[in-house]
């Protein structure tokens, strides 16, 4: 993932990187230069990555990373030419190293670069309400509108023919054409990413973005968190109802319809033409296939194959649910 918004402080020599992170250099690595930290699939010979769960063993076996943060039980899955950095708590070590590369991605303070839209060049090209603020590194296309009391914070790209409602906050987001963001949405803020170690919670830098594709609609009061090490994506012609939460790294396909008060936990992937009823929940790190229908109030805790219809908690085949609840 080439991040368009957060500055990378690298490259670092591996010895210095571990020292700045407060981590032990047990193998006494010295001069290898590391450009960035990336996930297993996107890492190159100039990067460091992490591997914390056997669930990702196939990806780990194919990684091209020069270094990988992992533990004793998982190192056997990595390629021989990948240098292993062994730590008891892989995720905390990863958080510390990511913070060295991207220190500005840890916190989300208010954007002090924001100006009244009347003091920017956008006043001549955007239809806007009262008390609208615009931050640095913002681009807005043709025929767009922004409602009252909304803030387009730094690092936002908005395409053509988009409407942004009132009381909306957007940052670290790329919005394509013909997108409607309704009132009260918060898009692109950091996700719920931290790791516990005894009595200390380590915040994980959220270095991804939110990408909303063409013709999508985001309902009132919805929240979409930016990605941690990959992007959060809303596909083309996908409609989200009111009060929906999309966590970091979630990827939703094209032509999906998601009803009110649905929550989708981090890193889950939804295919195309998925329909989800109101107040359903999808757990993290799951794969939901194409053309899946999830009934309202369901709790999804495992992968769902293409063309399935499910209901209940835990979500099961609609036919089985009806049979068991006659």
pLDDT at residue 127 tops 70: yes
Are 221 and 170 within one domain? yes
Contacts of 48 (CB under 8 A, 6+ apart): 14, 17, 34, 36, 37, 38, 65, 66, 67, 68, 69, 85, 97
**Cα gap 22→261, rounded to integer Å:** 41
Contacts of 110 (CB under 8 A, 6+ apart): none
Are 48 and 195 within one domain? no
pLDDT at residue 325 tops 90: no
Residue 2 inside a domain? The answer is no
Give the DSSP letter string of 33-48. EE-EE--TTT--TTEE
Are 101 and 185 within one domain? no
Structural domains of the chain, count: 2
Residue 171 inside a domain? The answer is yes
Are 100 and 175 within one domain? no
What pLDDT does residue 317 have?
93
DSSP run (H or E) holding 30: none
- Cα 206 off chain centre by: 8
Are 280 and 181 within one domain? yes
Are 136 and 69 within one domain? no
- In the listed set 79, 105, 131, which residue is the last one of a domain according to the structure? 105
The parent domain of residue 314 ranges over: 115-324
- The dihedral over CA atoms of 266, 183, 168, 278, expressed in degrees to the nearest 10, equals -10
Question: Catalytic site residues?
Answer: 248
What pLDDT does residue 142 have?
97
| Predicted confidence (pLDDT) per residue in 75-123, tens digit | 999 999 999 999 989 999 999 999 999 998 888 888 999 999 999 999 9
**Cα gap 160→175, rounded to integer Å:** 9
Contacts of 319 (CB under 8 A, 6+ apart): none
Are 37 and 168 within one domain? no
| Predicted confidence (pLDDT) per residue in 242-297, tens digit | 999 999 999 999 999 999 999 999 999 999 999 999 999 999 999 999 999 999 99
Contact between 272 and 257 (Cβ < 8 Å)? no
| Predicted confidence (pLDDT) per residue in 6-37, tens digit | 899 999 999 999 999 988 888 888 889 999 99
**Cα gap 235→313, rounded to integer Å:** 27
Are 77 and 186 within one domain? no
């Amino acid at each position: 993932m080439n991040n368009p918004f957060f500055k990378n402080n690298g490259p670092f020599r591996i010895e210095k990187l571990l020292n700045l992170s407060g981590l032990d250099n047990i193998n006494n690595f010295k001069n290898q230069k590391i450009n960035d930290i990336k996930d297993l699939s996107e890492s190159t010979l100039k990067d460091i990555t992490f591997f914390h769960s056997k669930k990702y063993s196939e990806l780990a076996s194919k990684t091209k990373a020069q270094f990988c943060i992992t533990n004793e039980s998982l190192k056997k899955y990595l390629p021989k030419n990948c240098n292993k950095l062994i730590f008891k708590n892989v995720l905390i070590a990863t958080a510390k190293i990511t913070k060295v590369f991207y220190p500005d991605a840890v916190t989300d303070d208010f954007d002090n670069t924001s100006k009244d839209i009347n003091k920017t060049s956008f006043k001549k090209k955007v239809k806007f309400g009262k008390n609208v603020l615009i931050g640095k590194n913002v681009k807005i296309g043709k025929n767009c509108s922004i409602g009252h009391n909304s803030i387009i914070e730094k690092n936002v790209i908005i395409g053509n023919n988009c409407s942004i409602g009132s009381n909306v906050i957007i940052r670290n987001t790329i919005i394509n054409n013909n997108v409607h963001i309704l009132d009260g949405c918060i898009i692109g803020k950091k996700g719920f990413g931290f790791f516990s170690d005894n009595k200390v919670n380590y915040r994980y830098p959220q270095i991804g973005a939110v990408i909303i594709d063409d013709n999508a609609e985001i309902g009132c009061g919805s929240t979409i968190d930016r990605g941690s090490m990959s992007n959060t994506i809303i596909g083309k012609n996908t409609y989200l109802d009111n009060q929906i939460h999309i966590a970091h790294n979630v990827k939703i396909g094209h032509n999906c319809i998601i009803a009110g008060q649905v929550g989708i936990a981090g890193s889950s992937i939804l295919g195309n033409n998925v329909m989800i009823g109101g107040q359903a929940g999808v757990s993290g790190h799951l794969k939901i296939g194409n053309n899946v229908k999830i009934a309202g109030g369901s709790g999804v805790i495992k992968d769902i194959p293409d063309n399935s219809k499910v209901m209940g908690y835990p979500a099961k085949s609609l036919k089985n649910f009806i049979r068991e609840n006659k």
